[in-house]
Every structure is written in C-alpha cells, then in structure tokens.
Amino acid sequence: MAVNAVPLVGVLALDWSLVALLAVYWVELGACLVGAAVKALFAEGKPTYNADGFSWLVFGALSEKRGRISLPVLPLSIQVANLPAILMTLAIGSVGWALFGAIGVGGVGETTGATLTDAESVSVGLGVLAVVVGRAVDVGRYLLGGAYASVPPQQPLRSALTSMAGTGSALLIGGGFVIAGAPPPFVLAFVLAVKLLADIVGVYRDRLEAFDERTSVELGFAPDTPEWERIESSRDGSEIVRPKPAAVVVGGVVRGLRSPLALVLGGALTLFGLLSTATTDGVAVELLGGAVVVAGAFTALGVFDWSFRYLAMEYRTASEETGGEKLVGYDRLLGPQWRLSRESRAEMERARTVTDRLFGTETLRVERDGREYRLPHLPPDAAGIGGQSPSVAREFRLVSEPSKPHAGNEGRG
C-alpha cells in the first residue's frame, strides 16, 4: 500500500500526467527485477530447476556445481548453482522491461505528445527514488532477517516475474487504450487499479505459501524446497585420483569447437566467405575473420567450461561403515560435489575419447538418478575406482578396445 501510495499522491495532489505515472511504474519494474536477483544471489536453499535445461557451455558447469563463494567483508556467500537461473531471469526480464517501457511509456508519450514539465520532473524523480528505496528496504529486511538461509533462488525470482507480469500488463493495456483513443482519466484509473490488484495478489500469494509451510494441511501453495545431500569426505586413508590437467584443457577446446552453435555459425561464415571469395576479385576477409572469431570465442568458452567442471576435481575412494566402498567427487575449491556407492561404480562405462587417446588417459561414465556422472581424462592406473582392480581394468581395455566402437562424447556435460 505504501509503494502504491507514492504514484497515487502524484496523480491526485501533484497533477501527474499519465506518462509520469507510467514512468514511475516502469522504473519500479526494473528495481523489482534487480532486487529479486540480489535475493536469489544469496539464497542458500537448493535450486529447484532441472539442471538438464542448463546443459550448454558455462551454464551447465555452473548449474552442476554445489558450494558457495564467501564474500570477504559481509557474512554472506554466493551459491554457484544459483547463477544460471539468475542470469536467465535477468535476460528474460530485461527484454520484458524494455518492451513494457517502449509501449507503455514511449507509445503513450508519442500518441499524446505529452512531455514532463520541470515541476513534474522533480516530483517524478522523487517518486522514482521512493520506489527504489522501498525495494532496497525490502532486500535489506530479507538479508538482515536471515530469510535467505532457507529460500531457494527460484522463490524471489518467481515473485519478481509474477509482479512484472501484473504491472507490465497494466502498462501494455493502458498504453493500448491510449493509442486506441481512450480518455486519459479512464486509463489512469485502470492502471492504478490493475497495479494495486497485482501487488495484493503477490502479497497474499506469499502469505498463503508461508501458511502452507507452517501447517499440516497441504494447500498446494508451498514451494518445493529440497535440501542438499550431506556428503562427508576425508583425505585420510583415501585413494585419490585426479584428471590430467593438460588433457582437461585440450578436452575443453574440443568441447567448445564441437558445440552445435559454434559449428553452425562458424560453418555458415566460412561457407559464405569462400563463396564470396570465389565469385569476386577480393578475399572476403570479414566473413572468414568472423569465422575465426567465432571459433576462438567458443574455444575459450569450452576451455572455461571444462576447466571449471574438472580441473579442481579429485576422486576419493573411502570405506563406508557398512563395509562397502564409496566414491566421492571433491572440488578442491568448493568442497564435496557428489558420491557414488560401490554398486554404482561397478556399472561405470569406460571410454577413450580423442583427447584420451592423445594423452593416454580414459574417461569413466555412469548414469544415476537422471544425472550423468563423468570422470574424464584419468590415468590408466586409476581404473580401480570404477569398481574393478587396475589389473582387471587394464586387461578389459586391452582385449575389448580394438573391437569397441568409439564411445566418446565431448559434447555432453
């Protein structure tokens, strides 16, 4: 009510025009999106999105990592797995924000020919400051109150997108009414009512979610908040195997160049460049140079993607209390990532990719619970982590490899 009172006072007491009201609402949309991104950045709950949807270069590497990066001064940390959802929300929200501003503010101003007077500009500036400060206070309460400790990143992002949809609808429909010739007082009342209704729905949605979480009655409003699996790992008494660093870097080069988008863009530019060179007197330097730039950019992305996934990884084999053995994937920068039981290790598939053949290494893979676990570019004497002794694994590789088709797939994360 307080946030909506600012533009209401501007309309009733300061004689704001429709363009001024829509401008304040448009800036509030941007502040709402940025505030939600900040909330999601520090949220410590486990992300609820499907990581398979972020399997592309870099995004896939971020979505599959668990662990936090602590800030040097503040008692806050950034969870790496939150970044893909935040970046995607900012990308989608920015497009919507620009569209709402172009139609709701720019279209109305172009149709009516209205401009802000000096007095209006000052009061609108104060209104913008008020809504931005209001959103900042909301983010501050979220951080100081510790709500981020149990909230998944999707919750604030979803609330922001819902709010943008409500306010954006008011901007788009209100702008459409003005362009269609509707009287300004009617459009003002419509925009104010739709904006207030959207905010009330957002507030009560949060209240219903909180009530659903506190009671045993399942209303269906409470969000799904899974927890991170607790993984304990120690270097004491563990056999530790690490990927070969040079092979990881070269594997990243292959990973980037084999990206479908890189093949399409680079191939198209190269083809057009060769055709242009063959049909004209000069050489199509721009097109061929563009193909080289695309290849270089995807190579850099592939190297970062593969290095972030595997360069700091080590695989520890340790005994469990049950008498079996478990394999723990441990990131030396971010901590333990996953663990596999002895039964899962026994089902691992061995393959030798192009990079493995070049460096004399091998790659282990297994699918468990809808996820593929990949242990790339390991030395041959580390084959025992796959559930077989090194001697048996070497014998298996030497006997079966000549007749086994190439099973490598650098493109999968």
Domain shared by 180 and 307, yes or no: no
Give the pLDDT confidence of 169-194 residue by residue, as tens digits: 777 777 777 777 777 677 777 777 77
Q: Looking at residue 248, what is its pLDDT?
A: 94
Tell me, yes or no, whether 280 lies in a domain: yes
Domain shared by 275 and 390, yes or no: yes
* Per-residue tokens: 112: 């009516």
Domain shared by 385 and 316, yes or no: yes
Minimum mean pLDDT range among 51-55, 148-152, 325-329: 51-55
Domain shared by 274 and 206, yes or no: no
CA 227 to CA 106: how far, in whole Å? 45
Question: In this structure, which amino acid lies at residue 323?
Answer: G
Domain shared by 176 and 60, yes or no: yes
Tell me, yes or no, whether 368 lies in a domain: yes
Q: Looking at residue 183, what is its pLDDT?
A: 73
The helices-and-strands tally (H runs, E runs) of the chain is: 14, 9
CA 110 to CA 116: how far, in whole Å? 13
Domain shared by 377 and 263, yes or no: yes
CA 402 to CA 395: how far, in whole Å? 12
Domain shared by 207 and 288, yes or no: no
Domain shared by 119 and 190, yes or no: yes
- Dihedral over Cα of 231, 232, 235, 236: its sign: negative
Nearest to 269 by CA among 256, 282, 283, 288: 288
What Cα–Cα distance (Å) separates residue 340 from each residue in 60, 81, 155, 315? 21, 20, 30, 11
Q: Which residues contact 2 (CB under 8 A, 6 or more apart)?
A: 134
Domain shared by 208 and 256, yes or no: no
What are the DSSP E strand ranges found in 231-273?
239-241
**253, pLDDT greater than 90:** yes
**55, pLDDT greater than 80:** no
Tell me, yes or no, whether 409 lies in a domain: no
Cβ 191 vs Cβ 174: under 8 Å: yes
Radius of gyration of the chain (CA): 28
Give the pLDDT confidence of 292-334 residue by residue, as tens digits: 888 899 999 999 999 999 999 999 886 554 444 688 899 999 9
Domain shared by 117 and 243, yes or no: no
Q: Running DSSP on this structure, what letter comes out for residue 57?
A: T
Q: Looking at residue 402, what is its pLDDT?
A: 42
Domain shared by 53 and 184, yes or no: yes
Q: Which residues contact 148 (CB under 8 A, 6 or more apart)?
A: 39, 42, 43, 44, 76, 142
Q: How many domains does the chain have?
A: 2
Domain shared by 31 and 170, yes or no: yes
Domain membership of residue 247 as a residue range: 239-403
Tell me, yes or no, whether 153 lies in a domain: yes
Tell me, yes or no, whether 234 lies in a domain: no
Q: What is the pLDDT confidence band of residue 399, given thresholds at 50, 70 and 90? A: very low
Tell me, yes or no, whether 224 lies in a domain: no
Tell me, yes or no, whether 408 lies in a domain: no
